[in-house]
Structure 1
Amino acid sequence: MTSEDYIKLNEIILKQEEMLRFPQFSNRDAWELGNYMVNKVYEKKQELAIAIRKLNGNILFQHCTEGTNLNNQNWMDRKYNTVSLMERSSLGAWAVAATTGEVVSTHGLTEKDYIFCGGGFPIRLKTGEMVAVLIVSNFPHELDHDFIVKALSDWLGIDNVPEIDLSLSY
């Protein structure tokens, strides 16, 4: 991919983050959204780990299908840390890093605790306030991100959310 491709990707992700916002978000909302996503996974006979955490790290929802393991939990921890620190999706952080040449250590962070790849998404209120992080793991990272975006689009009833081009090699 070219630098222009990453810039365009970042613009799409920023638009997704802007559009996919909640009127309110409670612990019960986390439970209902999490169950909705798990049911989607089972309907499609897929394997995925899904979690929703408050910004203080409190796990509001988590489910891991049979085909996932502790490694997926470790990836979710790193994605959560990235989203909560950068206050944007982990794929967005990855796209920016790809254009700037940054790596995790550029920010004084370690790859043990942070990762620039798709699968973490900020849960924001319509006011812009970030209140939680939605994390998934087990698909290739751009598909992790795409799963979140499609699930949130459906859940929130928001049409015309731009999609990333999955035909590109990320």
Structure 2
Amino acid sequence: MTDSELNDLIGRVEQQERRLVFARFDNADAWRLGCLLVELATQRDLPIAVDIRRGAQQLFHAALPGSSADNDAWIARKVRVVERFGASSYLVGRRLAAKGQALDAGMGVDPALFAAHGGAFPVRVRDVGVVGAVTVSGLPQAEDHALVVEAIEAHLAEDS
């Protein structure tokens, strides 16, 4: 990927994060969004795990055929990136790549505990900020990210 393409990608992901903001986010929202992700993945036969959290509480989790406990470990690492940086794990990773940097001890984090790979997207509530994360693991990082974005877009469209 060229520098120009990477910068365009970063701009698109930043725009997604500005646009995909919830009016509120409760347990019922997490359930509906999680079920939507499971439905999309099942229709496409995707071997993923899905996780939705608000703060420290896991509100939804599903492991579809073909996923493994390794996906759960990746979810935990991606969620920590959202919690620490207040941005999607994909955006954090792409911003670092654009600077030729990595998420490592030089940034004050243990790479065994943090993964700046696509798939965890912040649950941002209007006039509140980031309150949680929606995460998918099991596909290449761009596809994990795209699936979460697709589901959040559909969920927000239903609520409007």
Normalising by the smaller structure, the TM-score range is: over 0.9
2:34 is the alignment partner of 1:18: no
Say which is worse superposed, 72-81 or 94-103, in terms of deviation: 94-103
Aligned to 2:88: 89
Per-residue CA deviation, residues 50-100 of structure 1 (Å, 9 max, x unaligned), is 000122x21110000121111000100100001110100111001100111
Root-mean-square deviation (Å): 1.3
Deviations 1:136-169 (Å, cap 9, x if unpaired)? Answer: 10010100001111111111119xxxxxxxxxxx
1:155 maps to 155
Structure 2 counterpart of 1:125, one-letter code: V
Q: Which residue is 2:117 aligned to?
A: 117
Matches for 1:14-93 after TM superposition, within 5 Å: 14-55=14-55, 57-93=56-92
- Local SS of the residue matching 1:104: coil
1:128 positional shift: 5.3
SS at match of 1:157: helix
Q: Secondary structure at the match of 2:24?
A: coil
TM-score normalised according to structure 2 size: 0.93
Q: Distance in 1 between matches of 2:141 and 2:17?
A: 17
Alpha-carbon separation, structure 2, partners of 1:102 and 1:61: 33
Where does structure 1 lack aligned partners over 5 or more consecutive residues?
159-170
Dislocated runs of 4+, deviation >3 Å: none
TM-score by length of 1: 0.88
- 2: distance between equivalents of 1:69 and 1:131? 27
The whole-number CA distance in structure 1 between the counterparts of 2:93 and 2:108 is: 16
Secondary structure at the counterpart of residue 50 of structure 1: strand
Q: Distance in 2 between matches of 1:148 and 1:23?
A: 18
The one-letter code sitting in structure 1 at the alignment partner of 2:147 is F
**Aligned twin of 1:100:** 99
